[in-house]
Amino acid sequence: MVLVLDAVTKVYRTSEGPLEVLKGVSLTLAPQQTMALTGESGSGKSTLLHLAGGLDSADSGVVHVAGEDLAHLDDKGRARLRRGSVGLIFQQFNLIPSLDVRANLAFHAKLAERYDTAWQAELTERLGLGALLNRYPEQLSGGQQQRVAIGRTLAVRPKLVLADEPTGNLDEATGDAVMALMLSLVRDTGAALLMVTHSPRLADMLDQRLHLRAGRVA
């Protein structure tokens, strides 16, 4: 399994007192499996994604990513996992403004020492970025920026891709095109995908759906 969550709980401390956001969530994701995470606003979807990506830690329960128990990793270990095994794609594209498209695309792969010229060229072509390599993020449309963000993530060939409303900032036609590209690339690399979405239509494009209701699997 690429991702295992077992009886995971998460409580946020707020000024109004403790807020129990995840109340014992379990799921497993095998290589090449794609899963949509749906649920109302506030049901805990992003929190779950952050725990799976080692961006935050659970209060109880087990989170295993690519065979590693996150509770046994220190900050350095979690950072290593995020660089190598886990790819994150967010609604905001989070490109580096001072780097051109070519350098943005290569950034994570170089950090992780996984830069592969042939794969980089294939990603550039399949994402339709060949003519844009010398541009800077501010000179790109939203759909183009998200294609760069997807290429940057998949350049590393992560085992697990975590995506939070990856097409949430795009119009429907652009979003659908970006989604189709992301799915075909994820499937070709054999990665598993966990994607938060509000859209039942987008959820239907994935193999499975997990619905959260008030911090529990519904």
If one asks whether residue 14 binds ligand ATP (CB under 6 A), the answer comes out as yes
Match 């995908």 to its residue by tokens: 193
DSSP 8-state assignment for residue 40? -
Minimum gap (Å) between residue 215 Cβ and ligand ATP:
8
Say whether residue 18 binds ligand ATP (CB under 6 A).
no
Rule CB under 6 A: say whether 117 interacts with ligand ATP.
no
State both tokens at 172.
Answer: 């429907």
Contacts (Cβ under 8 Å, ≥6 apart) of 35: 27, 29, 192, 193, 194, 195, 206, 207, 208, 209, 210
- 218 near ligand ATP, judged by CB under 6 A: no
Which member of 2, 36, 38, 46 binds ligand ATP (CB under 6 A)?
Answer: 46
Nearer to ligand ATP, 133 or 214 (CB): 214
Q: Which of 34, 47, 144, 145 binds ligand ATP (CB under 6 A)?
A: 47
Q: Among 15, 16, 17, 41, which residue interacts with ligand ATP (rule: CB under 6 A)?
A: 41
From the list 2, 4, 5, 39, which residue makes contact with ligand ATP (rule: CB under 6 A)?
39
Binding of ligand ATP by 104 (CB under 6 A): no
Q: Which stretch binds ligand ATP (CB under 6 A): 36-44, 82-90, 155-163, 200-208?
A: 36-44
Beta bridge partners, 194, equal: 35, 162
Closest by CA to 157, choosing from 104, 105, 107, 87, is 87
User: Which residues between 52 and 91 bind ligand ATP (CB under 6 A)?
Assistant: none
Q: Hunting for tokens 């792969």 — which residue is that?
A: 109
Strands (E), the chain: 3-14, 17-29, 34-39, 60-65, 68-69, 86-89, 160-164, 192-196, 208-213, 216-217
CA distance 28 to 30: 7
The smaller minimum CB distance to ligand ATP, of residues 46 and 104, is found at 46
What end-to-end distance do the CA atoms of the chain give, in Å? 22
Q: Measured from the CB of residue 48, what is the shortest distance to ligand ATP in angstroms?
A: 7
Positions touching ligand ATP (CB under 6 A) are 12, 14, 19, 21, 39, 41-47
